[in-house]
């Protein structure tokens, strides 16, 4: 067994729940957060396998085992999906996930052995602290050890630990991102999402169209509104391509074909587009996975599933921001949504709602 990495206490949860991806039967989540700097990984596990799809919309992705998810390719089910900080280095965490799954007897049977199928995606958080500290195989393994059906922690944990948002006008005016989850249940079928938001753009509450977090004004005390700033002709700074990215997983207990899972991964990006602006830029590697456990034994019409998938994805993004807490690393301070005076007041309606 790999050496257990150091862990830190999880932050307290935000007051209201929007459900969780673990409300989907057959889904577990485990997370690991490093102590040396804000980074980590989040693992979505389907012990019995799940039909899977993926869609990459950002122009600077970092991924592993995504090509096999295309509907025309052989492998029908995956056993976990890893969402990781650490940029390309973080892909190593998936190896630890594979090792843990193999020890549990979970994987694709190949003769006398098993090959656990673990697609992964990463976000860039290397500008937050020591770049030599990043998720590795031991971190991925430990996330699996700690996995459960309980609602996962949100905010500054796992893949969201080092996430920032609103970076189009420079890191110094950005805010804290994070990881969030949500779920909905309609007609006996549950759909959930887990999203780590590290976007170059602002995060928007879809129900109010208000900016929740993003690029701040030059004095740092309010929200700039990146979309309006760009439309007004304010030139962005020159952020390094690929230093952003929103990654996530949507899951359902409905029975899906591989083609349907692929379509739902595409639809999940509609949820990103409702809650992040700008999104899918040349500076982001936005990637969404879709899983169908089939545990409900029910099929559902694709229009209904598509509505649910887009909705829970958008809610999970907003949850990630509402759960985030400010951090200060190497003299750089990034406030969270609740730290900005303009945001004090009622909780945005887009973060909750019926389950």
Does the pLDDT at position 4 exceed 50? no
- Picking from 27-31, 59-63, 100-104, which range would have the lowest pLDDT averaged per residue? 59-63
CATH number of 21-347: 3.60.70.12
pLDDT in the model for residue 345: 38
Q: Over the stretch 127-180, which tens digit does the pLDDT of each residue have? A: 999 999 999 999 999 999 999 999 999 999 999 999 999 999 999 999 999 999
Q: Write the DSSP assignment of 218-274 as a string of letters.
A: TTSSSB--HHHHHHTT-----PPTTS--EEEEEEESS---HHHHHHHHHHHHHHHHH
pLDDT in the model for residue 111: 87
Among residues of the chain, what percentage have pLDDT more than 90? 83
pTM of the model: 0.91
Cβ pair 256, 26 in contact under 8 A: no
Q: Over the stretch 277-309, which tens digit does the pLDDT of each residue have? A: 999 999 999 999 999 999 999 999 999 999 999
Q: Over the stretch 89-110, which tens digit does the pLDDT of each residue have? A: 999 999 999 999 999 999 999 9
8 falls in which pLDDT band (50, 70, 90)?
Answer: very low
- For the residues 224-253, what does the mean pLDDT come to? 90
Phi/psi of residue 23, each to 5°? -70, -15
Q: Which has more pLDDT, 176 or 14?
A: 176
**Domain residue extents for the chain:** 21-347
Cβ partners under 8 Å of residue 2, min gap 6? 96, 99, 137, 138, 141, 142
Q: Over the stretch 76-85, which tens digit does the pLDDT of each residue have? A: 999 999 999 9
188 falls in which pLDDT band (50, 70, 90)?
Answer: very high
Q: Which has more pLDDT, 14 or 333?
A: 333
pLDDT in the model for residue 49: 97
pLDDT in the model for residue 60: 87
| Angle at 316 (CA atoms; ends 247, 354), nearest 5 degrees | 150
Dist CA 74 CA 139 (whole Å): 29
CB atoms within 10 A of CB 326: 14
Cβ partners under 8 Å of residue 265, min gap 6? 53, 54, 55, 250, 288, 289, 290
- For the residues 311-335, what does the mean pLDDT come to? 96
Sequence length of the chain is 355
Please name which of 342, 7, 346 lies closest in space to residue 157, comparing C-alpha atoms.
7
Name the 3-class secondary structure at 295.
coil
């Amino acid at each position: 067994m790999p050496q257990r990495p150091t862990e830190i206490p999880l932050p307290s949860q935000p007051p209201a729940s929007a459900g969780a991806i673990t409300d989907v039967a057959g889904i577990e989540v485990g997370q690991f957060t490093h102590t040396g700097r804000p980074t980590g990984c989040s693992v979505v596990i389907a012990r019995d396998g799940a039909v899977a799809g993926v869609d990459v919309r950002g122009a600077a992705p970092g991924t592993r085992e995504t090509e096999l998810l295309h509907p025309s390719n052989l492998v029908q089910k995956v056993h976990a999906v890893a969402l990781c900080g650490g940029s390309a280095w973080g892909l190593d965490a998936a190896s630890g996930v594979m090792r843990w799954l193999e020890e549990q007897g979970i994987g694709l049977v190949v003769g006398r052995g098993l090959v656990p199928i673990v697609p992964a995606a990463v976000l860039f958080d290397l500008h937050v602290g020591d770049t030599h500290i990043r998720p590795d195989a031991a971190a991925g393994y430990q996330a699996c050890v700690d996995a459960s059906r309980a609602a996962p922690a949100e905010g500054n944990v796992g893949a969201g630990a080092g996430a920032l948002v609103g970076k189009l006008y420079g890191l110094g005016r950005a805010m804290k991102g994070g990881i969030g989850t949500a779920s909905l249940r309609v007609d006996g079928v549950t759909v959930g999402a887990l999203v780590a938001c590290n976007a170059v753009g602002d995060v928007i509450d879809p129900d109010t169209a208000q900016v929740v977090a993003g690029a701040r004004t030059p004095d740092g005390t309010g929200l700039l509104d990146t979309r309006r700033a760009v439309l007004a002709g304010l030139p962005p700074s020159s952020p390094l391509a690929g230093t952003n990215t929103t990654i996530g997983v949507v899951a359902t207990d409905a029975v899906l074909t591989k083609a349907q899972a692929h379509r739902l991964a595409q639809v999940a990006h509609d949820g990103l587009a409702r809650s992040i602006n700008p999104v899918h830029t040349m500076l982001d590697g936005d990637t969404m996975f879709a899983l169908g456990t089939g545990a409900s034994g029910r099929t559902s019409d694709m229009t209904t599933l598509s509505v649910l998938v887009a909705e829970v994805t958008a809610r999970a993004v907003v949850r990630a921001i509402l759960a985030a807490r400010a951090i200060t690393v190497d003299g750089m301070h990034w406030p969270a949504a609740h730290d900005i005076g303009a945001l004090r007041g009622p909780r945005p309606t887009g973060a909750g709602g019926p389950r």
